[in-house]
Each structure stands twice: as C-alpha cells, then as structure tokens.
Chains A and B, each alone.
Chain A
Amino acid sequence: MLSAKEIKKLDHEIALVPIRKSACIEALKIVQQQRGWVSDESLRDIAEYMEMSAEELDSVATFYNLIFRKPVGRNIILLCDSISCYVMGYKKIYQHLQNRLHIKFGETTADARFTLLPNACLGCCDHAPALMINNDLYRDLTNDSLDEILEEYK
C-alpha cells in the first residue's frame, strides 16, 4: 500500500508529465526515498498506481543502477571506482572498507548499518579518491579520514 504522503508526491509528479507512465522513475524514487528500497510488493503497488504492469515497471527499475530492488543497509556507501580514483588508489580505500566492515561490493553489514556499492565517477576527480555516504560527498580520502567519516553513520 502506498502511503498518503507517497501518493501526494506521486500525484505532483504525474501532473507534470503528458503521459502518466512517464512519471514512473519519479515514482520509484519517491518510494525508495521513503522505504530505502523497492520490494516486489512496493513495485506492484507503484505499478498499479501508475497504470502499468509489474513487468513494465520492473523493466525500467532494473535498468538503472540506483533503484534498489534488494534490501539495503541504513547507510549506503558509494565508492567511486572510476579512472581518476583508480589512479589515486581507490583500491586501498576499498581494502580498508573491507577490513573495517567485512563486506564486499554489493553486500550489507550484518547489523544492516552499511551497504557498500561501487559507483561510477562521482565528478570530483580533482579530489580523488572519493566516496559518498547517503547524500554526503567525501573527497581526498585516506584510511585515517575514512575511519572518522564512518563513525558519523550509525
């Protein structure tokens, strides 16, 4: 069941587009924002509201990198693994994250505190290596600065 709040936001987005279905990515974002991820059940609810089949909507949802169709942790770490960060040693950062959190890319910590994902270039190549946690960007990373940063996310 979509919440009243979600429906309100959805209706706003639907009003902006000439074809109802065109708001479906917005719809996925809205629900993901509320629930952290898009479960099969959420997907079906959204699809119904958007007057689409589950297939049509999932076809769109699974195309994109940042619609989560599996449960994620409370905090999402997006580590840039693109070229400038590669040159500047993102692999060390990755190694350090693995040591600290005991998860690899695509995994969530047992306490659901973090999900770790690789991410294509974050657009701050002049301050590589970089990562994002939730909405916050961290640049010029070192193992030490990373430890401090992680502490802020419970």
Chain B
Amino acid sequence: MAVIYIDHRAYEVKAGKNLLESCLTLGFNLPYFCWHPAMGSVGACRQCAVKIFKDKDDTQGRLMMSCMEAVKDNMYLSISDPMAKAFRSQIIEWLMTNHPHDCAVCDEGGSCHLQDMTVMTGHAYRRFQYPKRTYKNQYLGPFINHEMNRCIQCYRCVRFYKDYAGGKDLDAFAAHDHIYFGRANDGVLENEFSGNLAEVCPTGVFTDKSLKEHYTRKWDMTMAPSICQHCSLGCNIIAGERYGELRQITNRYNGEVNGYFICDKGRFGYEFVNSMNRIQQPIIRSKIPEAVDKNTLYNHLKAAISNRNIIGIGSPRASLESNFALMQLVGKENFYQGISERDAQLMQTILHTINSGHVHTPSLKETESADAIFILGEDLTNAAPLLALTVRQAVQRRPFEKAQEIGIPSWHDAARREFAQEKKGPLFIAYPTKTKLDALADNCQHLSPDDIARLGFAIANLLNDTAPAPQEIDEDVLKIAQHIANTLKRAEKPLIICGTSLHNEAILKAVANIAVSLGSEDKKASVFYVVEECNSMGLAMMQAPSLEQARAALKMKEANTVIILENDLYRRDAKATIDHLFEQCGELIVLDHLHNATSNQATVLIPAATFAEAAGTLVNNEGRAQCFFQVFRPKNENFRESWRWLDEFRQFKKGASLEDLNEPGDLMAELVTLMPQFKGAEEAAPSADFRIAGQKIPREPHRYSGRTAMLANIQVSEPKPPEDSDSPLSYTMEGYRGIPPAPLTPFFWSPGWNSVQSVNKYQEEIGGAIRGGDTGKRLFQKVSAVEKIFFDDIPTAYQALPGEWLVIPLQHIFGSEELSIYTHGIAERTPHPYAVISRQDAEDLNINENQSIRVTIAEQDYELPATIRNELPSGLVGIPDHVSGLSGISWPAKGILKTIAS
C-alpha cells in the first residue's frame, strides 16, 4: 500500500498501479480516452493529465499523464489544479475541432464517453473556425457500423482488435491529422470479437449495426442483467428492450467470467427473440382450429399429464428451474436429459473427474494467468470464443512478466509489447485440423480424436509412471509428449483445456490422468472443460438418463405422454433414432420458443418464453450458477417461462382448478433440498423479496422517456406498469438508484458517466470485482482427492479402414449454434457447408478442391464440396457441425466417401 496526497488530502492506495486507475478507484472523476482497464496505458490522448509535485513543498509541479505514472508512496498531486484543468479541457477542444456536432443523430448519443468527458472538463464553446476534416466510411460487415468523421484517434480500436484480440484486418492508416482506422478495403471484419469495438470506441465511430435496425437510446431501454445463452461459458450480458422487442445486448462486466468483453455470437445472436418463427400460441394439432386458448389447452392436457406412462425430456439450453419443474411434473424416475447416450456419458466422465477431487475448474479470469496451456480436441475460437480470447492473453503473460523484471509495469501496454515483441508463453494444441489459435502455439499436433487421447495418456504417463502408457506410440509423438509434460511440470499455473466437441470420451479420460499426475493435494491441476450449451453442466448435474434410455423406457405407442422441454432432439442424435422415438409417442407435448423439427412433430405445442422474457438459473462449464432475469413482460401473454407452464401443469395434475392456480413456489429452494449437489445455486442472486432501502432495482434508467406517451395509441391514461413478483427488479424507472448487487445490475450508469465506462464506479478496484462480489456461485464443492486412480482404457492408434472414414464435427462460432442463427448477420457469416478431407485422401480418390463429394453417414447422404487440408490426418473427414442442415448425426460417425460422377 502507498499513501498519496491528492489536492492536499491523504489517500491509501495500492502501490504499483498507475495513478489514473488509483484516482478512479478512489472515485475521482478524471477523464481519459486511450487508457482501457483491460488494455492498459499508452499515453496517447493526453486527457488524463494531472499536476504532480516533487514533494510537499513544491508549488510549481509538472503536468503528467496520470495513466503513465506508477503510484509511489508519498506522492503529491493535484487534479483540481487550474493548469491541469485548463489542459484537460484544451484536449477536448482539440478533439472537438474535427468531431461532428451530430450527437442528435449519432447512435452513441446518451451513452457516449466523449460526450461525458466533454461535459466533465467543462469545454463548451467552439473557437475553431475552420472546415472540419472529413473521411469516407467503410462497409465493415453485418455487425459494425463505421462513421470515421467522429473519430478522436484514441487508438483504442486497433489496440483492442489487433493487440488484444489478434485481429489482422483493422489498422491505423496514414499519419498526422489524417489518421484513419479501418480496413484496407471495404469488407467484413473477420475477428470474432469485433462487436466489442462498439464498447471500446469512446464515441460513435464503431457502433452496433444490429441496434441500428431498431435504434433506441440507452436511456430509453428497459434493461435486465442476463446470461448469454449461446455457449457454455456463461458470459454476463445486459439485454435491453423497447416496444416489446429485444434491441441490444451489451457486455455486463464480471471480473471472474467475461471481464470487459463478449464475443460476436453473444452480442448479436439475440434476434431469435424477435423472430417471426416464434411459437405464438398454444397449439393442439388434433383440433381445428389448432391454436387454442389456455382453457382448452389445460382441459386437453389433463389426461395426458396424468398418464402413468409419462416421460419428460429436459434440455441443456433450458434453465435449471425449467428442467426441474419438468422433473417435478413427471417424477424424477421419468425425467431424462435430452442428450444422446454418448454425450451423457461424456458429461458423466467430466463430473466424475471433477468429483474425484483431482481437478480445479478455473474461471475464465483464472485462465488468463495460466503460464502453460495444453488444449486437447477443442477449437476454442469456435466452441468457446471468449476462452480463445483469455488464452490469447495468457500466452503473453510470460514475456510481460519478463518486462516487469526490468521495471516495465504490467499496465504499461506499449512498453511491454515493445519489450516482448513476438515472444509467447507455451501453448500446445492437439486437434485434427488447424485452428485459429495455432498461430500462437508452440506446437500443434493434428491428430485423430483417439490419437489426441493417446498423446494425452502418454503425457500422463511421463508425468507419473504409474499412469498407464499407450502402446506402440510414435517416436515423434513421444518426443512432443515429453516436451509438453516437462513444460506443464515446470509451470506454476499449468492449464489443460478439453471438452465434448469431438464427442470423444478417451480424450476426457486422458485429461483426467494428466490431472491426477500433474496435481497434488494442495495444488490441484486446472482443467477447463468446454461443454456444449449454456446449461449443459447444470443438466448433467441432475444426473438423469439419456435420450436412448428414454426411448427404451417408452412402452407402447399411443399410451405414452412425452414432454419435451426447449429441445430440438434432431440436433442430438441420428435422425432415424429420433424419428423412432417420436413414433413411440402418444401425446407429444413440446414447449419451445421457435418452430423447429421437433416442434413440428408435437401434438401439443406450447410457446415458451426466451431468456429475455424469462428468469432462470444456468450453470456454466466452470460450475458457476448464474441468474438471468426477465427483461420485459412480453406483449404476447402466451410467452411464459417453461417453468411457469410446467409448475401449473403440476398443480393442475394434482387437482387444482384452472382458476386457483398459484404462482409457482420457490423452485430453486425445492431443487436444492432434493438435489444437494446444487447447494448454493439458490444464492446465485438475491431472492425476489430483496430490497435496498425498501426499494426495488429499476430496470429503466431515470431518463427513460415517453412512459406516458408510448402506449397512447392504445390507451391515453398511463397503464400501470407490470409488477415483477419473481425478482427484486421493477419494471419502472423508480427504485434504488445506487449500485445494486452484481447479479442485479440492469445497466451501468453513474452521474456524469452515461457510457459503459461507468463500470469503473461499480468495481471495488478498477478491473477487480464488482462491489459486493461478482455474479455467480460456484457449485463444485471442494472435495478432497480420493486416491489416485487412472483410467486405463486407452484407445488404439487410429487406423483408417479401407473405404471407411471417421467423420468429425467441426464447430463454427457462426452457424453451429441453434438460436443465434436467427440473426441475419450471423446467418450471413455462416460458412457454406463443406467436407474437409486430407491431402492424401484427396489424391487417392482423385478429388480436387471444391469438387462435390458424397459423404454417407448412417445411410444418409450429404453432398458437399471438398476442402483439402494438408494437416488433416488421412482417414478423417470433417464437416461443419449443424451448419445448413448438417444435423441429425450420431457422433462419432463412420462415413463413406465417394466422388460424384459429373
């Protein structure tokens, strides 16, 4: 700690930080542009100037950039010094010489850091009399809008896009007052994190194009804290609504999870909520008309839900509450996970390893500080995008630490990069094809899934010779294994990343062996598991049987009732298998938000609320339970949370009449009592009766406009705002204005700080936890390790059989995920379907690049253009998972490859 004196008052702050951070942590309003809490300082904008004095007696002082000065004990500085103030307002005046006065028509208006800083420094009148510089804008693809005239050249965009996220197609051009930020030519920004530009840019140069389609000012949005639904990482988001439409997703800072950034799938993938394809009304297919009211629905369901032969099929993309409500309705013994036997097995292996006490499942934040990383069988950029971003930061850690050794502080971004140059910390990747992170890796092994596992087993054996070793391992692979083993062993914070993307259990077992070999009782090995969906982990923890077992449990056609919760089963297993399952169903009740192949089979279809219209709890891959909240009360009253429907069915089944159905009880409390493995999940967010100073937390900012007018076309008197009995959030602008607990933060705002930069005010220290602790409750209890037991079912080396190929699914950030694909921009970014084959196989079969080939899997033919890759092992074929109808495959799949006679 250090004591510093700001304007003659003493403050205690952390030594070694930079002064700007320290002043902001102390709550001072010091303006800045180029500094970013995650990206550090470069000293370019000169906005953060303060006066620093040599000592107590120095009255002259010198102007210095606070972001570039390390805090030292006994430092004397002044923020309010007239010269410093004049300089800061001069900086704004300079920035404003060329900045258009277009706030009224700028998407950033009202949440603009430049606006805030302009007001903060007191610059108000224009003295610059000359024409402004103007630029041409570029087309940057479906996500990001470009308006270069507004640029204030803070360099944050390129620092984020290039240095932080590794993008290559955005840069700074020209010099002096002609500096331009953009691409070499018009074109789509390729980086998967491009959306963050909208938040990183302090003004309106890079803005959210999807918001533009239904533009609303931040202050006019109704917002709620939410959790991204599009992968297993559980990034925290803020979702905003106006006029019954979901209009924007922004990052919600969580110091332990996503920090300041989210990926483009998470930011732009929300349009499914507004989709025309929503299921609008309960439908009973045996009735005419099919669309029915609630009464008809309940009366129709009465028999079906009272059926003794009832089963419920849950979903890894539905909340714990909804899954649990279904389980309670059908009975624990009749509840099934809606995933294939193979996938259920994978999840059990993961849970088994976690529960054995040999591994630690790190948070995303923790992965950033790993000093050696080994990735097995995952393409992070596509399967768990934000993890790819944290891994990118982790590999820079070593060289940055070396910079610290020669006195370059960690926040001094330019200097540490100049020092580190291209040096990277150790990263190893084993995956069948090239991945984007390969460029950062020390060594990449392109292997079949089983051979990836064998590499893993070999490493475990080299780390601990009581672990079983694979037979007949290749000399070169062994050498690499030794190198990886040594590196992991030497590292202080080694990290293993694996997951379920290749549907290969041996990889998970190999990782378990590595973890057992690497860790010790007081320092467990860190394993980050990438799983498939936003609640895959939560569902797996419910320990229910798989789809296959559900099929087996179905007795006779007609007599069964099957309830499917928010799950398109055709994405889970082979089409024939699912068809067969449906053939055995009597009444097939489906609750979901969108029409899909499964809902098309339903005899009864019930519209479910999406995450934006519902509250719920999800468990991410790390075992962190986090809550999302209803953003808005949908106009369509049929859009109800699945758990609400299901709980009512339960009451109804028990004999309650339609008129006296109660609000559901506390489902989470019930869940935790019945399933102690979820203990803690009920505390993931404050309960509905939580109040601060007797007040709820408003979802609307206090500048929310048009409340009395926006519905005037329907009713002139202002309607009573909906009441929210499910959460401590209110649907109005009235309520507690201070800083709420992290899980209840509907937006970031602080007096004078209208933009997202106001997050500074919510943190205990800059870049640290949100005051009172970050969102989420980790459910994996600290178990002490049971004895070291190794998996010994090591697969044999992959041997392609003549005429048979192993088909593997390749993940795509845009296209592989079910819901985000409804955003047209994401659809646009989805690749055309293809089949990747090895150079060897292409030559043997005489196949040229892009030539159509036929891949036959379980008697299903897929005609796909060939993509030939040198690195892919022969005997393997890769196809993009779920892209353009490439669903309904039971993984791992055997396939036959044929050229198509032209």
Q: Which of B175, B183, B422 contacts A63 (CB 8 A)?
A: B175
Within 8 A of A (CB), among B121-176: 168-175
Enumerate chain B residues within 8 angstroms of A6, measured Cβ to Cβ: none
B439 to A, closest residue via Cβ: A51
Interface string of A51-66 (1 = CB under 8 A from B): 0111110110011000
Q: Are B171 and A59 in contact (CB under 8 A)?
A: yes
Closest-by-CB residue of B relative to A54 is: B184
Query: In the complex, what residue of chain A is closest to B172 when comparing beta carbons?
Result: A59
Question: What's the Cα separation between A52 and B183 when bound, in Å?
Answer: 14
Are A59 and B173 CB-contacts (below 8 A) given A53-B168, A54-B184?
Answer: yes
Q: Which residues of A lie under 8 Å from residue B170 when comparing CB positions?
A: 55
Instruction: Flag if B175 contacts A56 (CB, 8 Å).
Output: no
Please determine whether A19 and B172 come into contact, CB atoms closer than 8 angstroms: no
What chain A residues lie within 8 Å of B174 (beta carbons)?
62-63
Contacting residue for B173 out of A40, A52, A58, CB 8 A: A58
Count residues of B near A (Cβ-Cβ below 8 Å): 13
Partner of A56, one of B171, B185, B421, B422: B171
Task: Give the total number of A-B pairs whose CB atoms are below 8 A apart.
Answer: 33
**B169: which of A19, A53, A62, A63 is its contact (CB, 8 Å)?**
A53
Contact A19 B171 (CB under 8 A): no
Within 8 A of A (CB), among B169-206: 169-175, 183-185
Residue of B nearest to A21 (CB): B422
Q: Is the CB of B169 within 8 A of A55?
A: yes
Contact in complex: B422, A62 (CB < 8 Å): no
Give the contact-size bracket for chain A: 10 to 19
- Specify which chain B residues have a CB less than 8 angstroms from the CB of A55 in the assembled complex: 168-171, 183-184
CB contact list, A1-50 vs B, under 8 A: 19, 40, 43
Q: How far is the CA of A63 from the CA of B185 in the complex (A)?
A: 17
Shortest distance from the beta carbon of A17 to any chain B beta carbon, whole Å: 11
A40, A52, A63 pick with most chain B CB within 10 angstroms: A63
Cα A40 to Cα B173 in complex, Å, equals 14
Contact (A58, B422) CB under 8 Å given A53-B168, A53-B169, A63-B175: no
CA of A40 to CA of B174 in the docked complex: distance in angstroms? 15
Cβ A19 vs Cβ B422 within 8 A: yes
Q: Check A62/B173 contact, CB under 8 A, given A53-B168, A54-B184.
A: yes
Assess A58 versus B171: contact at CB under 8 Å? Given A19-B421, A19-B422. yes
For B422, what are the chain A residues with a Cβ–Cβ distance below 8 Å? 19
Residues of B within 8 A of A58 (CB): 171, 173, 184
**What is the minimal beta-carbon distance from A140 to any residue of chain B, in angstroms?**
31
Q: Which residue of B lies closest to A55 (CB)?
A: B171
**Which residues of A, 113-133, contact B by the 8 Å Cβ criterion?**
none
> A53: nearest residue on chain B (CB-CB)?
B168
How distant is A86 from chain B, measured CB to nearest CB, in Å? Answer: 19
In whole angstroms, how far apart are the Cα atoms of A43 and B171 in the complex?
15
Binary CB contact string for chain B from 703 to 719 against chain A (1 if under 8 A, 0 otherwise) = 00000000000000000
Q: Select from chain B the residue with minimum beta-carbon distance to A64.
A: B175
Which of chain B's residues 692-729 have a Cβ closer than 8 Å to chain A?
none
CB-CB nearest in chain B for A47: B184
Nearest CB in chain B: distance from A40 CB, A: 8
A19–B418 Cα distance when bound, in Å, is: 13
**CA gap between A140 and B486 in the complex, in Å:** 70
- Min C-beta distance of A66 to chain B, whole Å: 12
- Residues of A within 8 Å of B169, CB to CB, are 53-55
B158 to chain A, nearest CB (A): 8
Q: Which residue of B lies closest to A44 (CB)?
A: B184
Taking CB atoms, residues of chain B closer than 8 Å to A62 are: 173-175
What are 29 A-to-B residue pairs whose CB atoms are below 8 Å?
Answer: A19-B421, A19-B422, A40-B184, A40-B185, A43-B184, A52-B168, A53-B168, A53-B169, A53-B171, A54-B169, A54-B184, A54-B185, A55-B168, A55-B169, A55-B170, A55-B184, A56-B168, A56-B171, A58-B173, A58-B184, A59-B171, A59-B172, A59-B173, A62-B173, A62-B174, A62-B175, A63-B173, A63-B174, A63-B175
Known: A52-B168, A55-B168, A58-B173. 12 other contacts (CB 8 A): A19-B422, A53-B168, A53-B171, A54-B169, A55-B169, A55-B183, A56-B168, A56-B171, A59-B172, A63-B173, A63-B174, A63-B175
Q: What is A's interface to B at a CB cutoff of 8 Å?
A: 19, 40, 43, 52-56, 58-59, 62-63
Give the 5 A-B residue pairs with the shortest CB-CB distance, closest first.
A53-B168, A59-B171, A55-B171, A54-B184, A62-B173
